Structure 1
Amino acid sequence: MERPAEFSLRPATDRPTVALTGDWTARMLGGAGAGLAETLDGLNNFIVDLTHVRRMDTAGAYAIVRAAGREFDLAKVEARPETLRLLEVVADAVKVEPEKRRDRAADRLTVRVGKGVVAFGKEFLDTMGFLGHLLVVLALSVVWLFTQPRRIRWPALVSTMERAGLDAIPVVAVTTFFIGAVVAFIGASMLRQFGAEVFAVELIGISMMREFNIVITAVLLAGRSASAFAAEIGSMKMNQEIDAMRVMGVDPFEALVLPRFVALVLTIPLLTFIATLSGLLGGIIVVWSTLDLGPAFVLQRIVDAVGPTHFWLALIKAPFMAGIIAGIGCRQGMEVGGDVESLGRRVTAAVVHAIFAIIVIDAAFALIYMELDV
């Protein structure tokens, strides 16, 4: 017959004794554990007598250990060997506290740096794999151009050239027009202090023909075409259309990446030329209105003092920037997962990475031109 868990305190002058009786099990424990904790609260140097306890399980042992708190000591417990063993196991388990996570700034910084390095390494390897596949397809496309021209997807190429090139002419022209006007206005205002207003023409010509035409065009294409490429290919990836293409034996690089890559490389020289004309037009209008220098004089001075060399130096950079923009956009699209959140992240990454690559490429060419003294 089961008996409820009970206890009694036998006070003494030297060492008080707490005597437990009954069944200290989960079923018969009741409120004895809480009462024992209240009784032992503030009591020091006491003895726990368990010799009259009939049965005990881990719930009863835990109640005794928790009630004794820091004062619990097996040396102060009188009980049968099996009871002492159970109390020892429970007491050891209670003392094992989970290791507190060190929330120090240095640790968090180290973890973030480590994760960043690993992610960068994985991203680099994936990029090299994408680049290798793209180069193989480009080499094959050159062979197909002379041997199997029908294998090249001409409709997709022409359509992409129209969307990425011709449709971008208005925004490129308007943006570079205002850039040229701003450069001319700032140059005229600053050079007027030194009586060298006429050199504003050289400033406009060099800045627009060498740097701003290609950089502004590439940045606009990065925001317009790289994001579009990533979104288009990413949508197909989400809908498993790319997997279906692979099942049917169609290479996604040949069908999706190659037309976009070639289209952007072919159209960016045209956009750069239009950006140059628009930027020069904006600068000429500002110079004409503020410095009273006629368009004929400005154009003649640009031809004599600036020359076409700066334009050709800018045009050399165009295919490299177009290839980077198209490659980054298509690669990010290929990395899209199965959810919309992944699509959004990849489209954003395509724009950010493309703009960063444009700045790096422009800086690299600036160093090369400086070494070549051109």
Structure 2
Amino acid sequence: MALFNDMIEPRCATRHDGERVVLILSGDWIIRSAMDCEALAEQICNDLRAAVVAVDFSALGRLDTAGAWILHKFRGRIEYSGARVQVVGVSEEHRLLLNEVDAHHPPPFVPDNNRTSIVSVFDSTGRAVVEAWRDFIAILHILGSLSAVVTTVLFQPKRLRGIAIAVQFDKTCIGAVPIVALMSFLIGAIISQQGGFYLRQFGADLFVVDLAGVLVLREIGVLLTAIMVAGRSGSAFTAELGAMKMQEEIDALHVIGLNVTEVLILPRLLALMAAVPVLAFVSDIAALTGAGLVSWSYLGIPPQAFISRLQDAVTMQTFLVGMVKAPFMALIIGLIACVEGLKVGGSADSLGRHTTMSVVKAIFLVIVVDGLFAIFFAAINV
């Protein structure tokens, strides 16, 4: 306590030596007097008018890192005003601390060069490729961890967290039914209206049923569902895991000996892989309902004729082609969401950035996978 009670108030005396102004520092420039030091330095900088300023440290008392940093800024402000600064009377102990602070000051601000050039294009492309490769490695890491966890669960079924899976299924599936059904209904109605508008010019109004049925069951239903799930559930997974990462809850799970993949990732992936096929089926029904109502009101095709034509146009194989894609798209969305969530740093900006990237990457890969499935089914004549 004696060390705190005998603190000497920081002071700065001014003496004129010809054209040079000498600032004589005294007292303790330490963290306990930091506010007084800041105020004193501010006052001196405002009143000082000289071409050469000498800062005398010979009478200085105690000095710590906070005081050295204040003196560093004080000296910088004097030099910025156009004066030349001379440092005199510095003890070896104070010199070491001042040199250390000078060596670790923040680098000067350098504005970004926004000029477009071939080098900048190659640079940004290379960075994007490196980032994509890191994401690929992270996904492989989670897949390997999932394989080990699933193997463990197969031999020890009690380790499967059924309640967690049910909770995530409720969030990703049951809660998403209204928005998926509404959006699919509108998309089906638009497809039917636009298709009927052009087909009626050739007297082929009835073929709008074939168009809507095949397009919805093979492509639009599952693709639209996957995009909405990526925006709704994928972003939620990333935000949840990112918030846990920021609050060090994931580190706490490691400390108490729990497997993060088993506790957090596996239930989400299993729930999502079960939810997306259900939502895709709901999307198909809603889209066909919308197409049927628009065909009835806009093209004059009654519901009985629509259903009869739909049975002739599509088969169970058409329906299964779309449903087979659903679990794979769900797996991709879940993996991307979990990878981005675990990459979140300690700031809100990092959380927002990775949540956005999760949605963008998931939608991009979902569309890529849909294209690969289309090529595959075309190759096997399905």
Q: TM-score, normalised by structure 2?
A: 0.68
1:129 to 130, 135, 138: 138
Aligned partner of residue 138 in structure 2, secondary structure: helix
- 1:314 corresponds in structure 2 to 322
Match of 2:200 among 163, 188, 192: 192
For residue 270 of structure 1, report the CA deviation from its aligned partner. Answer: 0.9
Secondary structure (helix, strand or coil) at the match of 2:257 reads coil
1:79-228 equivalent positions in 2, closer than 5 A: 105=115, 109-111=118-120, 113-145=122-154, 147-228=155-236
The residue aligned with 1:76 is none
Which residue is equivalent to 2:361?
Answer: 353
Distance (Å, rounded) in 2 between the aligned partners of 1:202 and 1:101: 58
Deviation of 1:371 (Å): 2.1
Cα distance in 1 for residues equivalent to 2:148 and 2:283: 31
| Per-residue deviation, 1:253 | 1.3
Query: Which AA in structure 2 matches 1:202?
Result: D
Contact conserved, 1:134 with 1:258, CA < 8 A, in 2?
A: no
The residue number in structure 2 matching 1:248 is 256
Structure 2 distance, partners of 1:101, 1:144, is 53
Equivalent residue letter for 1:133: I
Partner SS for 2:206: helix
Query: 1:116 offset after TM fit, Å?
Result: 4.3
Distance in 1, Cα, partners of 2:213 & 2:248:
50
Distance 1:161 1:309 in 2: 27
Tell me the distance in 1 between the aligned counterparts of 2:197 and 2:116: 50
**How far does residue 113 in structure 1 lie from its aligned partner after superposition?**
3.2
Q: What CA deviation, in whole Å up to 9, does each residue of 1:56-103 have, x standing for no partner?
A: xxx9xxxxxxxxxxxxxxxxxxxxxxxxxxxxxxxxxxxxxxxx9996
Q: TM-score, normalised by structure 1?
A: 0.70
Distance 1:227 1:101, change over 3 A: closer
1:204 and 1:155 mapped to 2: Cα distance? 39
Separation of aligned partners in 1, 2:340 and 2:194: 39
Letter matched to residue 146 of structure 2: V
* Structure 2 unaligned spans of 5+: 1-16, 21-51, 53-109
> Is the contact made by 2:145 and 2:261 (CA closer than 8 Å) also made in structure 1?
no
Who is 1:274 aligned against? 282
Query: What does residue 296 of structure 1 align with?
Result: 304
Shift in Å at residue 131 of structure 1?
2.4
The alpha-carbon deviation at position 132 of structure 1 amounts to 2.9
What's the C-alpha RMSD, in Å, of the aligned pairs?
Answer: 2.4
CA contact (8 A) 1:134 1:253 kept: no
Deviations 1:271-316 (A, max 9, x none): 1111111111111111111222221221121111222222111111
> Deviations along 1:141-177, whole A, 9 cap, x unmatched?
24423x2111111111110011001111111111101
- 1:236 maps to what in 2? 244
Q: How much does 1:362 deviate?
A: 1.2
Decide whether the 8 Å contact of 2:139 with 2:336 is kept in 1: no
Taking a change above 3 Å as real, the CA distance of residues 251 and 115 of structure 1, as seen in their structure-2 partners, is: farther
Structure 1 segments, 4+ long, off by >6 Å, are 100-104
Work out the CA distance in 2 between the residues paired with 1:210 and 1:182.
17
Identity among equivalent positions (%) equals 38
Q: CA deviation at 1:105?
A: 3.6
Taking structure 1 as reference, are residues 185 and 349 closer, same or farther at Cα in structure 2, changes over 3 Å only? same
Deviation per residue, 1:11-36 (Å, 9 max, x gap)? xxxxxxxxxxxxxxxx6668xxxxxx
SS of alignment partner, residue 346 of structure 2: coil
Unaligned ranges ≥5, structure 1: 1-26, 31-58, 60-99
The SS at the match of 1:197 is: coil
**How many Å separate the matches in 1 of 2:300 and 2:203?**
14
Determine the C-alpha separation between the residues in 1 that align with 2:165 and 2:325: 22
How many residue pairs get aligned? The number is: 279
CA distance in 2, matches of 1:210, 1:226: 23
